[in-house]
Amino acid sequence: MRKTEHCRIVNFFLFYVILLTMKENSRNKVLPLILSVAVIILDQLTKCLVVKYIPRLTLWTDDGIIEILGKYVRLIHVRNNAIAFSMGSTLSQNARGLLFALMPLLIIIAVYVIYFRNNEFTKLQRWSICGILGGGIGNLIDRFFRPEGVVDFIDCYFWGIFGMERWPTFNVADCAVVVCGVIFMITFILQIIEDSKKAKKGGSK
């Protein structure tokens, strides 16, 4: 057995032992972080493959388009350095890049602090939050280390809805943020409804 493989087994065993020795409340907070790590790894791996094997899409060439399901789902290579609602448009390019890398970083740190201090989140909500944070960190890595912008590569047909022939190109990190965000919102709304029912029952007694 190679030394690196032996180290991985030992590290996994130590991580498992740490989880077992933790209190249940702490374990419920730490375990979902695995999803954050998984999203980051998958996001960066797919982006590296796209950068290496798919030429960037330009106005002059479409050689890099790979059709997965015909025109409905395609793989392309584009970079996204857009700023939402033209915020910071009067700033220099370097200033905009720094600003819109630091803002998400501060938000992510704040969410992690809330995540660990709050004991009211359900297990599903904690997994959802960690999925969202993993996606946020995945795109944040691009903001810091890819000056040309975030790598987007999933291109979907949108049937002209809202005047868009194709949905804006996205990546694995975006998928994690949207899917986990929807799950969190649904569980949050259901929790509010459940708490409201309990309050009404308690008030009627």
Residues noted as catalytic = 152, 174
The order of strands in the sheet holding 150-157 is 66-67, 73-80, 150-157, 166-170
